[in-house]
Structure 1
């Protein structure tokens, strides 16, 4: 399996001197697009009603659960990144930690799949899920992840979204009340 992972990586990884436009697009997808998740959660919280706020809290919980699962996997089974074993071309700097599963894609897909599994925002969840594919390509292209890291992120993201929604009856209401209390303290100040 590892040789297949390496073969697919080398097929998708950038050449030594990629085109400027392709490189710029890949860097944007790999490093900047991830900020869409917290931005959408923030906008959903600030502009949405009670239902939207609960939806984005569940998506945030799903993302955090996914990242926690990734940390546990990395502790139990540390997997080197391509540049750590001298494979391919690395075009962006990255810390030399475990590559499996991808944290970027786990956060992205956990939040996206959470939206897919909830009643209201399914279309937005499907769009975000599909946008994960160019992010996956970019992180492989730039040399910081293997293809199987992305498959791991897909699995962890789906599992985390399901677990976060399944367990929502235990945590969502207290979390919603806590977050609403903070929101009121910050935004409902009366001016003298």
Structure 2
């Protein structure tokens, strides 16, 4: 997939790297750490907004299913990272492994798209989709990925969401079992804390 278009788009973005320390620092942060905002949000929603735990589970499923698909792809297809060719400016050290699709982007896009399917969480989903786009752009800017790696992640995320929506009616009963189990653990922990206080 190292086509002329892929290389051209990569250099349009990556050629900006190494020329402005403020921009470099910002993009490195976005490439490495924006994904943690997704994790914090899901954890916060799980513990602070009990009514949305079902949605959090589906967001988690989407990310895991997307990663699973990525893993399968890497078993049959290897795509070098830009610095392995080598080409471009590398701002973040990384192991020399297949770059297609991007795990970071797959996780973030899958979560954001799944949130968009739930009416009450669409605003959050839209915000996180923008953050996913920024992070993906930053990873190309930093020399870790080609643009087509991000396009691949988008396709994987869409496929993941489609599968989960098709299986939704079968997954909801499983979710209820998981939620009941977790809520029982919460009750036991709460009772234990009350006894010791």
TM value normalised by structure 2: 0.89
* RMSD over equivalenced CA pairs, Å: 1.8
Quote the Cα distance in structure 2 between the aligned partners of 1:186 and 1:139.
Answer: 41
On the 8 A contact 1:59/1:115 being kept in 2, the answer is yes
- CA pair 92-173 structure 1, distance change in 2 beyond 3 A: same
1:156-171 equivalence runs, <5 A: 156-171=156-171
**Can you give the 5+ residue segments of structure 2 that lack an aligned partner in the other structure?**
none
SS in 1 for 2:138: helix
**Counterparts of 1:31 and 1:184 in 2: how far apart (Å)?**
37
Change (3 A) 1:181 1:61: farther
How far off is 1:186 after superposition? Answer: 4.5
| Structure 1 segments unaligned to the other structure (5+ residues) | none
Q: 1:116 and 1:86, CA in 2 relative to 1: closer, same or farther beyond 3 A?
A: same
Q: How is 1:87-102 mapped onto 2 (pairs within 5 angstroms)? A: 87-102=87-102
Partner of 2:39: 38
Compared with structure 1, are the counterparts of its residues 178 and 152 closer, same or farther at alpha carbon in structure 2 (3 Å cutoff)?
A: farther
Partner residue in 1 for 2:192? 189
Query: What's 1:19 paired with?
Result: 20
Using the TM superposition, give the Cα deviation of residue 191 of structure 1 relative to its aligned residue in structure 2, in angstroms.
2.7
Distance 1:28 1:87 in 2: 22
- Cα 1:9–1:167 change in 2 (3 A) is same
